[in-house]
Structure 1
Amino acid sequence: MASDDKPEIVDRGVKDKGDDDDKGGFMDKVKDFIHDVGEKIEETIGFGKPTADVTTIHIPCINLEKADIVVDVLIKNPNPVPIPLVDIDYLIESDGRKLLSGLIPDAGTIHAHGEETVKIPVTLIYDDIKSTYNDIEPGSIIPYRLKVDLIVDVPVFGRLTLPLEKTGEIPIPYKPDIDLEKIRFERFSWEETVAILHLRLENMNDFDLGLNGLEYEVWLSDMSIGGAELEKSTTIGKKGISYVDIPISFRPKDFGSALWDMIRGKGTGYTMKGHINVDTPFGPMKLPISKEGGTTRLKKDDDDDDEEGVTVTPES
């Protein structure tokens, strides 16, 4: 065989390491390209992460048994499509101790390029709190921390958790103490007598009570002398005392010896029940007032105080 006819030998041995580097570099470029395309699509279509904020905390109802609380959360959706609000997970604690927690599933949808105020209603039952934490006293104000996790499902980003937190204070209300200290007769008749009841109201709470209404009924010696609604504006400071005069009319001839005991200066037993309507830093409240087994007396001319006495004289 002639030398010109010898076959050409080609080396097909192991590839250079540089070949792998070239391949890796190529794959990285592909990934970067896909990422860049994704960002361009995101910028073009306008996808973005939603935002949320606690705007207001309302206390629409508060009394001696419970406090209804509504948390307003404003959620903004910058995306061109609606996003579902999958779950709302919330926790209320005080000084690191859990007061209440819960989960609200399938809480709705946030419209495209829109914003929604989502309301989270919760109820604090005071008996549950006081039975769990003995050191929480009626009439006190306790700090609270509200934690909310909003779970949303967003295209491109997937499922996201938006954590929120808010702090504040909430009261543990206590009913005021009431005493009927004296009764002054303005006009006396056996058929109808008009009297003024001198009430002493003591605020047992660590916050002011703005008294703006009073509903009451009074019994003397187990016999009702009636009641009424009274609009009265005054402020009873925290841990303070206020005095209120309220008019009442009744028929003395229906009372027998109880009225004569008062006229002769003796005390007589009484019971008083009702409600007071008050404004507080936490919203309006309707608090019960009650006094049973108390003793009161007629205000007479010779009583040793600064208030002028009233002489009781039957009408002709």
Structure 2
Amino acid sequence: MDILEKAKNYVSEKVANMPTPEATITDVDLKGLGLDGITLLAKICVSNPYSVAIPIGEIVYTVKSAGKGIVTGSIPDPGSLKANDKTMLEVTVKVPHSAVVSLARDIGGDWDIDYLLELGLIVDLPVIGNFTIPMSYAGEMKLPTFSDLFMGKSSEPEKQVDDK
């Protein structure tokens, strides 16, 4: 084995054993319901093992339901990851009403939509280059009933007042 081959093997081994940032989706909430569709808010916790901040190039996402992709998109240049720390990111995903209506058979009797949110966090790592951290989150969206929309049903419990 010549010296060039040994050097390549050494570098390959070091890069393979190099720690990489890790990310998890901690929560997905229904942020809003409007005329343009449903807005989901995904909260992501990303840990950066390096002593330098790492730029995030892009976040790509796909929302699937009943095995079909209903919306895809990306968020360009969402910021950077703090050095030697955890960074909380919030990703807003818009699902148009047309996509929700196409899922009517999934809604059925329980008035919800089962979904899978897939996210890819693309970071620019030194030496390695662009690296995608894949994440997914399965959940269900409870759809508002007509009484929720028109009667202004509150999710807070009613308070009782004592007149003593």
Q: Among 146, 151, 162, which residue is 1:275 paired with?
A: 151
Inter-partner Cα distance in structure 1 for 2:54 and 2:79: 9
Structure 1's 102 and 165: CA in aligned 2 closer, same or farther, altered over 3 A? same
Per the alignment, residue 158 of structure 1 pairs with 129
Inter-partner Cα distance in structure 2 for 1:133 and 1:38: 47
| 1:144 equivalenced with 2:118 (yes/no) | no
8 Å CA contact 1:82–1:109 kept in 2: the answer is: yes
Letter in 1 for 2:71: L
Report how many aligned residue pairs link the two structures: 152
Structure 1's 277 and 174: CA in aligned 2 closer, same or farther, altered over 3 A? closer
- 1:1-316 alignment, distance < 5 Å: 25=1, 27=2, 29-33=3-7, 35-36=9-10, 48-62=19-33, 66-130=37-101, 132-135=102-105, 140-176=111-147, 275-279=151-155
Partner of 2:146, secondary structure, is coil
User: Structure 2: any 5+ residue segments left out of the alignment?
Assistant: 157-164
Structure 1's 136 and 37: CA in aligned 2 closer, same or farther, altered over 3 A? closer
Letter in 1 for 2:87: E
CA offset digits 1:54-100 (Å, max 9, x no partner): 01112233479743211011111111221111111101111112222
Structure 1's 39 and 134: CA in aligned 2 closer, same or farther, altered over 3 A? closer
Structure 1's 95 and 80: CA in aligned 2 closer, same or farther, altered over 3 A? same
Inter-partner Cα distance in structure 1 for 2:34 and 2:144: 7
8 Å CA contact 1:150–1:163 kept in 2: the answer is: yes
User: Structure 1: any 5+ residue segments left out of the alignment?
Assistant: 1-24, 177-208, 210-273, 285-316
Structure label with greater radius of gyration: 1
Partner of 2:135, secondary structure, is strand
Inter-partner Cα distance in structure 2 for 1:127 and 1:148: 22
**What TM-score, normalized to structure 2?**
0.76
**What TM-score, normalized to structure 1?**
0.42
Structure 1's 128 and 30: CA in aligned 2 closer, same or farther, altered over 3 A? closer
Question: CA offset at residue 277 of structure 1?
Answer: 2.2
Inter-partner Cα distance in structure 2 for 1:37 and 1:149: 27
Question: CA offset at residue 127 of structure 1?
Answer: 4.5
